[in-house]
Chain A
Amino acid sequence: MANPFTLTRAARSLCMAALVVGGGGSAWAAGEDGDEGRALCAAKILTCAAEAGPADVVNNGALLIKDGVIQGVLHKANDIPDGYKIEDLGDAWLMPGLVDLHSHIAGRGYNDSVFQANPGLRVKCTVVPQNGNLVRALAAGVTTILYIPGSATTVGGQGVLLKTSPATYEPMVVRDPGSIKVAQADNPKRWGFRMNRIFLNWTIREIFGRGAVYAQAWDEFEAGTGPKPERNIQLDIFRDLFAHRTQISAHTQVHQVILASMDIMKAKYGLDLYIDHGTFDGYKAAAIAEELGVAAVIGPRSVNFQNKGRGIDTNGAVIGVAAEYQRRGHSRIGFNTDAPVVPQEELALQAAMGVRYGFDDSEQGAVRGVTIVPAGIAGIDHRVGSLEVGKDADVLVITGHPSDPRTSVERVYVNGERVYDATEGRVF
């Protein structure tokens, strides 16, 4: 029986050639101008288009890739224009590469906690490209991550949005700063003796207050209405935040802590904030989050259950966090791992667990929650998160629905380049 994933000798050598051609400065070879395009024909294409609708799923269609970018999503394979090499992938599915907005796997030493609030720290200086975790992430279809500092302090520093592809640092970057990381309960309490939840709350209010004053002083200077402020690299990130060039990824999970995040960062300062690492009983704030336009990224493995120590009393019930956000009217729900606490390759499992505990997937919520929804939340949906014309050709070839644990990733493209192929050495 013909294996649709077995590359022809010619295709394989083409692939190798592309790697060699692009390998001058880095091992990174985005499709170059003049390259032959590729048309991937598949039984099912989950486009995860930004606008949900019938175009979401294309059966027996073809995906056109050229110059590292998606050129078209065709409903009929016989519409493929000239200049595209056709590959029939048989019963395989295509979907966009997965996006994880809570990950720590791109490097080491990302939890510096000299101060209780460290908005100036940049985790990008710890990135180790092509490390083993990134290789496994890619093999599981995770192509974009928000690599962020740990939660040992209330403000851990600045994250960076990266592709997981085997490259040097520069071509991996999707956006820097990718976010500013805020953490509120539990972990940062270990920082110092007698520091607990209400002191952490105070610390965040204090640093955001100073950041607001700093950003405003620069705005006034640039508008010609104020003196030139003294540069303070600890607070520079607030200029990006107040100009809406980046967001706050808040590791915020307990009901009251989510309220505090929204109170300080969204209601008071109007900053772009999303709930990250959403677990426990945070869904109780879902209605306000929806009202304020605060998206929720849920995980890892988030179910809420009896936890007297935290004051969480569910009457013995095990409650799906994503399902409960949804039931309370929240409309922008994504999933994350917190890798390596939970392995990066288990991102799809987070969505599967969501569905297992009641999350409604009838409109592809579990697929969109690991693709276009997190891409939109992070403000990078013009590049990644869906298979739409003009976006980066980050494409997965998989054997079925990504939330089905029997499904395996067979091939991964990033920027149109084949960066993983299970037939050449299967990881999962």
Chain B
Amino acid sequence: MKLSLFTLTLCIGFTSTAALGQTVDSRAVGVRPLEPVGYEAPLRTTRVTSTAKFAILSSKIVTCAEQGESVINHGIVLVSAGKIEALGRQGELDIPIGYEIINVGDNWVTPGLIDLHSHVGGSLRGNDLNDTVFLTNPGLRASAAITPGNSNLRRALAGGVTSVLYIPGSGSNIGGQGTLMKTGFDTYEPTEIRNPGSMKLAQAGNPERFAWGVNRSFMNWHTRETLKRGIAYAQSWEDFAAGAGEKPEMNIQFEVFRWLKPRATQISAHTQMYQVVLQSLTRVIGDLKLPLFIDHGTIGAWKLAPLVREMDVAAALGPRNVDVPSRGMMNWSQNIEAEGWRGTAVGYQLAGVKEIAFNTDAPVMPQEELSLQATIAVRYGFDDTSMQAMRGLTIIPARIAGINHRVGSLEVGKEADILVISGHPADQRSSVERVWLDGHEVYNADEKREY
């Protein structure tokens, strides 16, 4: 019952982005069958709906809308019941009686920022997020470690980050299931956006430390093995539901594949070097037909961007992604061809990849530096003339994660996750002044400024 509410909201799916000339997204996150037999439904209770009604007046509202106007100068945002009720120009849109008027003057109003690669949602005590008993752990859930309202999340808010994909670390090839969550609440119920938010896949580098003798080709084999078993498990439940097979034995290690196979969640692949991204694309998406986006995209993989575009795969890039020349013994980038410093995002953009978002890997980079990831991209050549940097922090990550029906832009009916910021978020001189989440004010720099 509780699950069905969430399933229903997922039905809305993706819409096209007229401003960027895109067609309907082929990666659309699909609909999970109702009442999945035996699935462990996450605990849910009623969210407390904000009763505040207010009108924000601003010189510049950057809506990041998927359709319609992206910028409203001298505009108004009306908020009620935790949702965006209306948008319009001052003098054209009536403010109903009883609405508090909040005039933020020359400050901008934007959607809250979204980070699809974060580890600061909860306990980092004793490496709580990086349980690596096995080399693949699809059954583990990051939600088991969430600490709502922790100090990292409070700083995230002050940096304008309102939603994150909180995922397991990369100590193993499949670290477990991430949770899509909001950053500004004290309790879990309003925090959760979707669980499972993703299944975390990591391929090279970190998981190689798992054990002696485990290196890239063994990990590739082992990951394929787990993915294939998971798909077979999901298939056996689908057969059972269709009356075409015996009731399978429940195996909580593989339950997440019953979400992945019908595309109700995706694989967030920490995939960053040429050969590794190639494996993500050809094996996971091409052969196994699982939904996947590139996450923590760095180093030389932008050279694969033409294939990324051809397969219509989205990419979240960061942290601080610039490709650097070889440093000989210190050749951590394993990129022997780089001739100079080169922005990763621009490499993807020039190849025509449409869906480019930015991520931090917080706390490796501070969560509040999400906007800096876009700044660095622009600094190294990423074209921002159609507000691609701004969108890469808001609507694009929302769309990649399949939560754009709820967050990511200021559009009527979406959740009121709103920033008041003194200028463009990618301009590091800008400061976040106020933040609302679901219409609740959760940060106000006038009361206590963080940045």
Contact = CB atoms under 8 A, between A and B. Distances in A.
A197 B123 CA distance: 9
Contact of B252 (A199, A205, A254, A310): A205
Interface stretch (A165-173, A229-237, A255-263): A255-263
Contact of A201 (B133, B144, B171): B144
B252 A263 contact: no
Among A200, A213, A255, A281, find the residue whose CB has the most chain B CB atoms closer than 10 A: A255
Given A256-B147, A263-B42, A313-B149, A196 B126 contact: yes
Contact of B126 (A189, A209, A288): A189
A285 interface: yes
B188 to A, nearest CB: 5
Interface in B136-190: 137, 139-152, 154, 168, 171, 176, 186-189
Contacts of A254: 123, 147
A195 B151 contact: no
A254 B133 CA distance: 23
B250 interface: yes
B45 interface: yes
Contacts of B141: 198, 201-202
Among A197, A263, A285, A309, find the residue whose CB has the most chain B CB atoms closer than 10 A: A197
A202 to B, nearest CB: 5
A268 B44 CA distance: 11
A312 B131 CA distance: 21
B386 interface: no
A310 B187 contact: no
A209 B248 CA distance: 14
A31 B146 CA distance: 54
A264 interface: yes
Interface string A240-278: 000000000000001111011011100110000000000
A166 to B, nearest CB: 42
Interface string A278-318: 00010011011001000000000000000011111100000
B130 A196 contact: yes
A32 interface: no
B130 to A, nearest CB: 7
A213 B188 CA distance: 29
Given A254-B123, A308-B151, A313-B154, A198 B188 contact: no
Interface in B249-276: 249-250, 252-253
Interface residues of A, number: 40
Nearest to B42: A263
Interface string A184-200: 01100100101111111
B131 A268 contact: no
B124 A311 contact: yes
A313 B148 CA distance: 10
A254 to B, nearest CB: 7
Contacts of A313: 149-151, 154
Nearest to A308: B151
Contacts of B145: 196-198, 256
B123 A285 contact: no
A418 B151 CA distance: 54
A206 interface: yes
Interface string B197-216: 00000000000000000000
A375 to B, nearest CB: 28
B305 interface: no
A263 B43 contact: yes
Contacts of B253: 202, 206
B26 interface: no
Nearest to A212: B250
Interface in B110-144: 122-133, 137, 139-144
A263 B179 CA distance: 16
A351 to B, nearest CB: 26
A198 B149 contact: no
Contact of B144 (A198, A206, A312): A198
B41 interface: yes
Nearest to B175: A198
Interface of B: 40-43, 45, 122-133, 137, 139-152, 154, 168, 171, 176, 186-189, 249-250, 252-253
Sort A-B residue pairs by CB-CB distance and give the 5 closest, nearest first: A201-B144, A199-B131, A263-B43, A311-B150, A311-B147
25 contacts: A185-B123, A186-B126, A192-B133, A194-B131, A195-B131, A197-B144, A198-B128, A198-B141, A198-B145, A198-B168, A199-B133, A202-B131, A202-B252, A202-B253, A254-B147, A256-B144, A257-B144, A259-B188, A262-B43, A285-B188, A288-B45, A310-B123, A311-B122, A311-B124, A311-B152
Interface of A: 185-186, 189, 192, 194-202, 205-206, 209, 213, 254-257, 259-260, 262-264, 267-268, 281, 284-285, 287-288, 291, 308-313
Given A256-B123, A264-B40, A312-B150, 19 more contacts: A194-B132, A197-B131, A202-B139, A206-B252, A209-B250, A213-B249, A254-B123, A255-B148, A260-B143, A260-B144, A263-B42, A263-B43, A268-B40, A288-B189, A309-B125, A310-B125, A311-B125, A311-B150, A312-B147
